[in-house]
Amino acid sequence: MRVAGVSLEDSFLKISIVDKKFGFIKPVKSEEIKLPLSEQERLSVIKETFQKLKEKHKTDNVVIGLNLNNFSHHVIDMPSLARADMRNALLYELERYLPMPPEEYIYDFFIIEKVSRRTRILVFSIRKDLVDGILNAVRDSGLNLAAIRCSFIEAINEFITTGKIRDAIFVFATEDNYHIAGLKGQMPALFRTILKGKDIISEIEKLTESFSGGIYISGASEPVLLDKINAKTFPLSLPNAIALSVLRKQRFKFNFLPADFLPEKKDYYPYAIGALTSLAVILFFFTGLYSYYKDYSALSSVEKKIAQIKERASGLLDARKKLESIHEKRKFLHDFQGKRNLNIKVLTELSRIMPKDAWLTGMSVDEKGRVEIEGFANRAANIIEPLNKSKLFKKVEFAAPIVSQDGKERFSIRMEIAA
């Protein structure tokens, strides 16, 4: 497998090609290409470079790393949810943080910590229009786009992978900026970007009070800076780190690949449905036979008791009363067996688990066990967790976007009754 890591910077396109065969990774070629100022000319050079990677260097896959300045990053507290549910909930949560609608962004997240029933996540977002030209160039070249990364995150991954330094300050210098990460226990606690020419020394000296593990600098830093802040250099090939991000395990696995570039996954859902249907048919017949045998045994037992009562009854009136009592019990058992009051069961469970600040305005339960509820809450995302933990419900999901109204969030949730 041959992979090209491409670091797209302001004035340069830096490339590193690596091979992985039989579990061994070998560097093949490194290259740096000057980019013109014109946007149109830049895209033309990028397109020619990708075609060269495909045709001349026989590259299979390309990983693109983009500058941190292209990304928005936020630390957000969320309820503890499954990853798929967390991604769906973030689509609504990011409206508070992004200047444009979340649908205009590609975003990915990493779980920093879980405390009780809350989860703290680090979210990176990039506007789709910032990568459209690059994506078209990759598509035209015939290369397989394996991933889109944040270059600074891959630099942090490389820093963490090659050492066991904790509570450190990591600085990565680009053409125009210093990108700073404060690491607590090898987890990012803060991000800063400072323009070159600004007073970075005093900024870093302030951070050393909170991060005592030392200062490490990589990239195109000014030599005088190392002496003034007593920093250590960390040798790093950024395009090489970007290429290796798809060949080995990373601490922070962010990928900003658009949906149409994701590899197509085989849909096992129809096979699962077929197997479950077959199992349901078998269970249906087995249950019918079992129920028939059980009812037959119960009826036989009742009939024996009726016969015994008839034999032992000392009088017609006494025997008749006992027979009527048995028939009433028998009828009650048959009636009770055929009833399943789902509405009461669902309503009882919802009353038990719903947050106190939530109330329902509508509920429906159909004969197949599908439930839909509507209502209001201070925070609609907090309702998903107790519903998921309930033994009565499964496949809990939002049926419609959350709408804010009079300081409350209006929600619509659908789910199924667990068998």
pLDDT in tens, 11-32: 888 999 998 888 888 888 888 8
Question: Tokens 């058992």 correspond to what residue?
Answer: 333
pLDDT given for residue 316 in this prediction? 65
Question: What is the Cα gyration radius of the chain?
Answer: 32
Which residues of the chain have a pLDDT value below 70? Answer: 163-164, 262-272, 285, 288, 313-317, 319, 330-340, 419
pLDDT digits (tens, 9 = 90+) for 103-138: 999 999 999 888 888 898 999 999 999 888 888 888
Task: Determine which helix (DSSP H) or strand (DSSP E) holds 381, and give its type and residue range.
Answer: helix 381-389
Return the pLDDT at 264.
57
Instruction: Give the pLDDT of residue 412.
Output: 92
Instruction: Give phi and psi for 184, each to the nearest 5.
Output: -110, 110
pLDDT score for 271: 64
Q: CA–CA separation, 345 vs 340, rounded Å?
A: 9
Q: How much is the pLDDT for 339?
A: 43
Please report the pLDDT score of residue 196 as a whole number. Answer: 82
pTM of the model: 0.61
Tokens of 341: 């009051």
